[in-house]
Structure 1
């Protein structure tokens, strides 16, 4: 698999997947990072690790159709066959969704369908979990479709919510499961496609 990552901020899942590939724990090639945020830590990380990178945002492409076309063109230029969203804070357009249907994965910091959808991202998810008094949270890898956090669930991790947890402590434990969960999901996707895992 040739992997492309889309990320807006830190890209912790992209980093974990790339590390697994370079250690030989996942037979895939990290080949591209696309970010809508030129000053994001993930762009700096990509530069430091030699990963090809592209800044594609609505600032350069105010028309959503043109941005969608630019993202798809860039993915194809780098021969990407599987796309991983790692904290990408924008909706993808129909061209990219159609071209990568079944090979476009996102990780979300809750047990979907709980605490997903519009406005549910990052620390807002963990705050909602704590406010509801949940005893268990976790992460979900799912297929990406036109709905927000609505695609088919591929894998989930479960994390106990401890008495006295804060957003920061819960985030740390959930985030620690996201990389391994995505790696597991990518292995399953490769196996289903008849590729080495």
Structure 2
């Protein structure tokens, strides 16, 4: 059976990144080849290094440079790219080279609370301000439009009027930790095909 080679792109703290690495540790079928970040200070890089995963930092110029990025991806024989809190828009040439092989997780029930500027606490504050009775996570393929790729799976959680934006964030984070690696496993093994 062919090994699925995975790259994780992350910009921040890296809890999802770490969770995915741990989930697939020791797997014969899935290999996390590297974690790439656009920020050298991203704690995701520290988490990856502590778990023995290669790390790569690229600046905005390198990210936009097709030959630089495609060299990195091809030299590691990458099959899937997972966005785990990666803030830059993925360049079109990468999206076009990996159709339905770039997966993002978004902290709301898309299409609600998606699009430019909607990430992290901005999403949870918007959900709170709108008085939503539920929120959740959306795992979706990446296309050329921000947060508008084909939805693979959504998971919901109920909200109470007393929930603060921080409470909402915690509920959503729990969904991410529980479901993201399992959904990725299904994607990699073509269970959603």
With normalisation by structure 2, the TM-score equals 0.91
Equivalence for 1:114: 112
* Mapped partners of 1:34, 1:193: distance in 2: 27
Q: How does 1:25-44 map to 2 (within 5 A)?
A: 27-44=29-46
TM-superposed deviation, 1:23 = 6.2
TM-superposed deviation, 1:179 = 3.3
* Mapped partners of 2:190, 2:82: distance in 1: 17
Output one character per residue of 1:3-54: Cα deviation in whole Å (capped at 9) or x when no partner: 1000000122211111111265x94111111100001111111222211111
* Mapped partners of 2:69, 2:36: distance in 1: 8
Please provide the CA RMSD for this pair.
1.9
Aligned residue pairs, count: 189
SS in 1 for 2:108: coil
Give every structure 1 segment of 4 or more consecutive aligned residues whose post-TM-superposition deviation is greater than 4 Å. none
Out of 182, 185, 197, the residue aligned to residue 183 of structure 2 is: 185
Q: Structure 2: where are the runs of 5+ without partners? A: none
Q: How does 1:26-175 map to 2 (within 5 A)?
A: 27-58=29-60, 61=61, 65-66=64-65, 68-175=66-173
Q: Structure 1: where are the runs of 5+ without partners? A: none
* Mapped partners of 2:183, 2:69: distance in 1: 23
Q: Do the aligned partners of 2:131 and 2:161 also contact (CA within 8 Å) in 1?
A: no
